[in-house]
Structures are given as C-alpha cells and as structure tokens.
Amino acid sequence: MSAHPDAEDIARRITDRCRQLGLSEGVLCRRAAMAPSYLRLLMRAGPEFDPDAFVRIATALGTTWPELAAGDRPDAPPGQAGPQGHPLLRRLTGPECWELLGTHGVGRIGLSGGPSPDVLPVNYAVDARTIVYRTSPRGAAAPPEGTPVSFQVDHIDDRHSHGWSVLIHGEAHRVDDPDEERRLAALPGAVPWAGGSRPLWVRVRPGEVTGRRIGTG
C-alpha cells in the first residue's frame, strides 16, 4: 500500500508526542482501543486509510486531530519555529521600549522572596512611565514596600521568528491612597484576568529600562 503524502510526518508527530508523554506503544494502543499491528499499519498508510482511528489516536495523546495533522498546538509555548536566515539582534531605546509596552498588557513580575526568584504573570497598565498592577495583599505577587523587582514583557512572532523583549529593573511600592486607587481602576487593562479579590495596587518605579528586538537583517 502506498503511503499517504502526510503519513511520514504524522507518524513522526505521534512518535514524538509519545516520547514527550512517556507513553509506550502498548499504552497508546490501549488508550486508542486498537492492536499494535493496526497502529503500525495506520502510521504507514496515513489518515485516509482510517480517519476515525487517527481521531482516537489524537485523543489518546491529549490533543486533537487537526492539531496532530498540522503539527502545532494553539497552546504551545512560542519559539517552536527555527531561526530565520541572517538574524539581527538590536538594542531598543528607552522611548522604543515604552512604545512597545503600550498602555496595558500581560507581563511578568520577578521577585526574590525565597530560596530562588519567583516570576509571575500579571495584567499590567502603564501610568506615567511606571508599571502598575493589581493583586491580593497576601498573594505571591505582592512584594513588601520598596522591594527591588524586575518586570518583563515580550512578544514573539513564531511564523517569522521575530520578537522583542523589554526588561525593567526598579522598586515596588504599594499604593495606599483611595483616590489614586480609584484613578488607576479606570485605566485600560485594570481588571486582572485571574479575577477574584485583588484590591492591592503595586507600582513598579523603573530604575533601568532596556529592550531588545530580534529580526532579520
């Protein structure tokens, strides 16, 4: 039987996914309700031979058939593609960094509060060249007053292997003025995705702002 044009790629993805999950051929076959010999036939013949069987394989691998067929996952981390030819790494100016940060978005706050630093995602807003975000007063992203912190935001274009990163080093300060809290609550991006009670506003006052952009030259 001649192989389907996509059979080799799909077989490789199945093998790679099994390796990632630590699944043996036998475990995959039990999950997909098929004999090992039939699995091997499917991997040679391709999806046109038995489409329903490939759907069962994808489900057994914790993915979907379209994702398995296309070779990517919508929730996969960025950076799956390889570098483009002639990559160029350029340092960004301060104004360029603030322009990329925009008015609000999702960034990562870096805190040193234990045996190793914590890096936590937060919804942020930009307010007069500072970063502000909301959190729980006793949450992991609520540093003590005056704590040195880092704050990082990036954007990755997987298709073109381009991207940028902005890093801020500064101090964290707790906002305790009710009028200021009400003003900050009206900023774009003021409502955290995580929901729940997050009444504490934290302001990161930058001491240094640096950034890099990678593209092609």
Residue with tokens 């990082």: 152
Q: Residues 74-125: pLDDT tens digits? A: 666 666 666 666 778 999 999 999 999 999 999 999 998 778 889 999 999 9
Name the CATH superfamily for 87-216.
Electron Transport, Fmn-binding Protein; Chain A (2.30.110.10)
What sign for the dihedral angle of Cα 94, 95, 100, 105?
positive
Query: Domain segments of the chain: what residues?
Result: 7-70, 87-216
As a whole number of angstroms, the distance between CA 111 and CA 143 comes to 7
pLDDT given at position 175? 97
Looking at domain 7-70, its CATH architecture is Orthogonal Bundle (1.10)
- Within the chain, strands assigned E span 87-91, 104-111, 118-126, 131-135, 147-157, 162-175, 200-216
pTM beyond 0.75, yes or no: no
Q: Residues 9-39: pLDDT tens digits? A: 899 889 988 998 899 999 999 999 999 999 9
